[in-house]
Structures are given as structure tokens and as C-alpha cells.
Structure 1
Amino acid sequence: MSEWISVCDFDDIDDEDMVRFDHAGHTYAVYRVEERVHATDGLCTHEKIHLCDGLVMGHVVECPKHNGRFDIRDGRALGAPVCVNLKTYPAKVEGGRVLIQI
């Protein structure tokens, strides 16, 4: 059964940026773009590098190691060297807090 987990205050994430969130032995990346929040697995599918050390440009996150890119809205891998999509998670803001459903 999935549950909503509180991550941080909405204002803790700058626009076109992300935060790392670790919960129950799993790493997530939580993004803020255009006043909306998105959540994905926190590790690149190519070499398991933390995406939060990378760069957000619009709805794209770029891995810091080999510049693999993913669409944060649906987790889609956008080209070599990444070819496996990221898992995404529902995310929302309630009462100024960012929540993700895992």
C-alpha cells in the first residue's frame, strides 16, 4: 500500500532545482519547476549516481557524471548514455509542505 510522505517545505526548493530525500533505504529526487513539484528515483539509471548533484533545466534533469538526461514529469530517458527510464512518484503541495506518494 502506498502512502504520502512529507519531504520538506515547498519554499525549501528553489524553482528549477531539486532536493534529495532518503526514506526507508531508498533515495528520491524532488523537483520544483514552474511552481509545481515532481518526484523521481534519486539515482541515475545508468551508473546509480545521485541526480541531486546534477542540473535541472526546465523539465529535464541532467546526471552529473555522464550528462544523461531525463524528463522529470514522466521519467523518460532522453538519450545516450541513459536508456532506462526513471521511476516517478505522485507529488503534491499541501499546507506549504511537499508530499510524495511511495
Structure 2
Amino acid sequence: MSAQKVCGVEELSPATARRVVLDGVAIAVVRDSAGEVHAIGDTCTHGDISLSEGFVEDDGLECWAHGSKFSFATGKPLNLPAYEPVPVFAVEIIDGDVYIDPAVRLAV
């Protein structure tokens, strides 16, 4: 597989997340408040909830239903009730566009 274009960086508002599905893999694409773009698995490991509907907070994405926050860097939950991590995917920015390869995981 290879990296696929998911959106333009400017299409991602700061401190927001967007759900994309690449090759059957649900991914939350996030632009944090500093402007960095991250990609983590979109499904909370505590329940079948889309993380992209949650809240971007500093270094992670918080599930709106259960309150578990997942690290952008490691995918690990930073608090309970979740205890299993979500995958973290490599992000490439090319000419202002965001590319993700769902087969390339940085964690999990």
C-alpha cells in the first residue's frame, strides 16, 4: 500500500478531528492547537465510539462518551476507563496536503 491523500491541511481547523476510512481502516485525523497533524485509530478501545467526535486536548484526543484520552504520540490511553491503545499512523504533508498510509503504523 501507499500513502493516500485525505485532505488539505487548511481543511482541518485547529483543535478538531476528522474521520476518514482508508482501506477499511477508520482513522481520526487531527490538527492540534499548535497546528501539527496527527492520525490515530478512530475507535475508542473502551467502547465502539468514534474518537473523531471527541475533544482535542493538548497531546491527545478524548472520547466524548467515556472520557478516556488517547495520546497522539503513542496511542496509549492517558486515563481510564480505556486501557488498550489505539494505533498511530504516519502522516506526511506534501504541498499542503495530508497523506496517510493505513498500513504504516508508528505504534500498536
Matches within 5 A, 1:37-52: 37-52=37-52
Q: State the SS of the aligned residue for 2:52.
A: helix
TM-score where L is the length of structure 1: 0.92
Where does the alignment leave 5 or more consecutive residues of structure 2 unmatched?
Answer: 103-108
2:97 paired residue number: 97
C-alpha separation in 2, matches of 1:31 and 1:73: 12
3-state DSSP of counterpart to 2:84: coil
* 1:8 matched residue in structure 2: 7
Deviation of 1:25 (Å)? 2.1
> Which runs of structure 2 are paired with 1:52-71 in the superposition (5 Å)?
52-71=52-71
Q: Indicate the SS of the match to 1:65.
A: coil
2:83 is paired with a residue whose SS is coil
What TM-score, normalized to structure 2?
0.87
Distance in 2 (alpha carbons) for counterparts of 1:57 and 1:37: 13
Identity %, equivalent residues: 27
The aligned length equals 101
The structural deviation recorded for 1:51 is 0.5
Pairwise CA distance, 1:23: 2.0
Distance in 1 (CA, whole Å) between partners of 2:56 and 2:79 is: 16
In structure 1, distance between residues paired with 2:71 and 2:51: 12
